[in-house]
């Protein structure tokens, strides 16, 4: 069969350019998305139902265990070998084949992307033209937390992938690899099969009752959710707030102090003690993992469940990962997208993957204008320091969280569209927001015509977020306008914060797992690479990647896609 005779679905599965808005393809995707919503909504007692749902959409060859939440596009392109385990929030864009061998362990918040869009030809991208390359994983593979695997990658047998890695090229057999981009670090000369099987058996202790009870409760029932946390956690202070869509492996190893706050999508894999001090603030997508692989006295890798300790007055930015055996000192600030693999001393700012000290600081009192008679909302919208604990603002956030909760468990497309139009400041025609989605206020968000966002978009719209026309946002991407005082933890603990607007131009593609920080502008026709942390403005017509994100090259308009659109 010639390319011209192929359906769009056939072109997709062959790795050719195809139209992702083809009617047949869209119907397949909507059908699978609905099954994922059903899977993620199941009760703890419905293990048989969960198994049935997975087997109806994915090819399986043996034992498997997939923790919620789980997001895929089609399912029929995915094959699971024997002894497959994935932790919370696995995302698979299976526009092409995704094959897993036997004995696979995947840590929390991992993403596997076969799909890609044209980089230089934004007109083709705007016409929904894309392509996909297969991904294959061999046998006996350990993948740490927050790993992203990009299109066309093969991972060999007997491989360990370090947390926070972005895998852009093939990884050979029998090695440890990590980094951005992920590279082989050293060889290993033993078989991982027994380690992987033991690890899978350990992780099946998930407290499904805690996660179900907490996340299914109504948004406005904050006191009931607090009682659930108190029932399952080892120790809590009296004043704490944990947003919904936070997930815990066990709960009984977690101790939290007074004035504890986590934002959307935190994951705590507590196989050992996790002790968190007073006045703790964490941005969205925090991941804490005790379990790691360490060498023993015989120079052999063994599973270790190592404690984690966090001091007082700590602010952790969005999309941060903490690895077992680490500690964070008092008054520290951890930059967005950081991977914590070593101990952090008191009074410092740390950033990066792997995390390094940016600078140390002395505590310094923030000067506020106590004579300012404006409401806290007016101060917020003026991008001045304001109190986020103000009742007017808290009540509006609760209202929007309720809308988002309804949106995320709704499978009717018309109802979803109505919810988005009811909360956003401005919405042009032809847009699609994929569940799950969360924002803070909504009235600060404007999106242009032909907008698409994939799974788990988070918009902390404390200031204006303005997104132009023909913008595509990959899965697990976050835009954060809000920030807290760095050197004055006392003000931070009282809810004092500030915000700066984010502006995204026309014809922009943000890859998966991208973080955009306050005050950033991204120019027209740009492509931001997967896993980038955008801390500064990005000019027009360029490809930018990295943590921190930097211009990699200019867009080449002569590179046109060889496909009629």
- Give catalytic residue positions: 484
Q: Which helix (H) or strand (E) holds 185?
A: strand 183-187
User: How far separated are the first and last CA of the chain, in Å rounded?
Assistant: 21
- The answer to whether 269 touches 249, Cβ cutoff 8 Å, is yes
Nearest partner of 248 among 223, 225, 218, 222, judged by Cα: 225
Q: Counting Cβ atoms within 10 Å, is residue 121 exposed (0-12), middle (13-18) or buried (19+)?
A: buried
How far lies 26's CA from each of 33, 245, 325, in Å? 10, 27, 45
How far lies 86's CA from each of 17, 71, 258, 342, 453, in Å? 30, 12, 33, 25, 24
Taking the C-alpha atoms of residue 312 and residue 377, their distance in angstroms, rounded to an integer, is: 29
For residue 274 the two structure tokens come to 């996790």
Nearest partner of 427 among 393, 406, 392, 453, judged by Cα: 453
Taking the C-alpha atoms of residue 246 and residue 524, their distance in angstroms, rounded to an integer, is: 35
Taking the C-alpha atoms of residue 56 and residue 176, their distance in angstroms, rounded to an integer, is: 35
Return contacts of 134-139, CB within 8 angstroms, 24+ apart.
134/15, 134/96, 134/97, 134/98, 134/99, 135/96, 135/97, 135/98, 135/99, 136/97, 136/98, 136/99, 137/99, 137/100, 137/101, 137/104, 138/101, 138/173, 139/81, 139/101, 139/102, 139/103, 139/104, 139/193
Taking the C-alpha atoms of residue 89 and residue 286, their distance in angstroms, rounded to an integer, is: 12
Which residues face 503 on adjacent strands?
Answer: 466, 521
Taking the C-alpha atoms of residue 529 and residue 510, their distance in angstroms, rounded to an integer, is: 7
DSSP 8-state class, residue 171: B
Rg (CA), the chain: 23
- The answer to whether 411 touches 435, Cβ cutoff 8 Å, is no
């Amino acid at each position: 069969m010639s390319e011209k005779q192929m359906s769009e679905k056939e072109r997709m599965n062959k790795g050719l350019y195809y139209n992702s808005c083809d009617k047949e393809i869209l119907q397949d995707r909507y059908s699978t998305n609905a099954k994922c919503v059903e899977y993620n909504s199941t009760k703890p007692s419905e293990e048989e139902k969960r198994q049935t749902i997975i087997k109806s959409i994915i090819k399986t060859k043996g034992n498997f265990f997939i923790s919620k939440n789980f997001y895929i596009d089609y399912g029929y392109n995915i094959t699971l070998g024997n002894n497959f385990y994935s932790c919370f929030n696995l995302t698979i864009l299976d526009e092409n084949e995704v094959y897993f061998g036997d004995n696979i362990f995947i840590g929390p918040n991992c993403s596997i992307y076969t799909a890609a869009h044209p980089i230089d030809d934004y007109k083709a991208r705007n016409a929904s033209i894309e392509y996909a390359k297969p991904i294959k994983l061999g046998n006996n593979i350990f993948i740490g937390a927050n790993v992203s695997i990009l299109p066309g990658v093969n991972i060999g047998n007997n491989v360990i992938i370090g947390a926070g890695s972005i895998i852009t090229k093939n990884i050979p057999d029998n090695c440890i690899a990590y980094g951005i981009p992920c590279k082989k670090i050293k060889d290993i000369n033993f078989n991982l099969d027994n380690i992987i099987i033991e690890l899978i058996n350990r992780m099946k202790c998930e407290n499904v009752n805690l996660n179900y009870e907490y996340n299914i409760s109504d948004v406005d029932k904050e006191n009931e959710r607090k009682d659930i946390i108190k029932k399952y956690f080892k120790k809590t202070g009296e004043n704490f707030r944990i947003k919904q869509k936070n997930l815990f492996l066990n709960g009984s190893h977690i101790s939290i102090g007074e004035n504890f706050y986590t934002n959307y999508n935190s994951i705590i894999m507590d196989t050992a003690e996790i002790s968190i001090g007073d006045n703790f603030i964490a941005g969205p997508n925090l991941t804490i993992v005790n379990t790691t692989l360490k060498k023993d006295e015989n120079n052999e890798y063994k599973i270790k469940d190592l404690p984690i300790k966090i001091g007082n007055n700590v602010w952790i930015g969005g999309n941060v990962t903490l690895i077992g055996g680490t500690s964070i000192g008092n008054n520290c600030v951890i930059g967005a997208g950081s991977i914590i693999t070593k101990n952090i001393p008191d009074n410092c700012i740390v950033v990066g993957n792997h995390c390094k000290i940016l600078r140390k600081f002395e505590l310094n009192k923030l000067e506020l204008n106590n004579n300012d008679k404006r409401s806290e909302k007016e101060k917020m919208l003026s991008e001045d320091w304001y109190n986020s604990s103000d009742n007017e603002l808290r009540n509006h956030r609760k209202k929007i969280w309720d809308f988002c909760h309804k949106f995320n468990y709704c499978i009717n497309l018309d109802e979803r569209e109505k919810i988005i139009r009811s909360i956003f400041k401005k919405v042009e025609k032809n847009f699609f927001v994929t569940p799950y989605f969360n924002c803070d206020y909504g009235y600060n968000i404007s999106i242009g015509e032909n907008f698409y966002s994939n799974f788990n978009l988070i918009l902390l719209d404390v200031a204006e977020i303005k997104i132009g026309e023909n913008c595509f946002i990959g899965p697990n991407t976050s835009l954060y306008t809000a920030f807290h005082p760095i050197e004055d933890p006392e003000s931070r603990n009282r809810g004092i914060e500030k915000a700066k607007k984010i502006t995204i131009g026309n014809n922009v593609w943000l890859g998966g797992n991208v973080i955009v920080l306050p005050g950033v502008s991204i120019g027209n026709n740009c492509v931001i690479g997967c896993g980038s942390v955008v801390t500064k403005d990005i000019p027009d017509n360029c490809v930018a990647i990295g943590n921190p994100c930097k211009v990699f090259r200019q867009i080449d308009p002569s590179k046109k896609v060889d496909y009629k659109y």
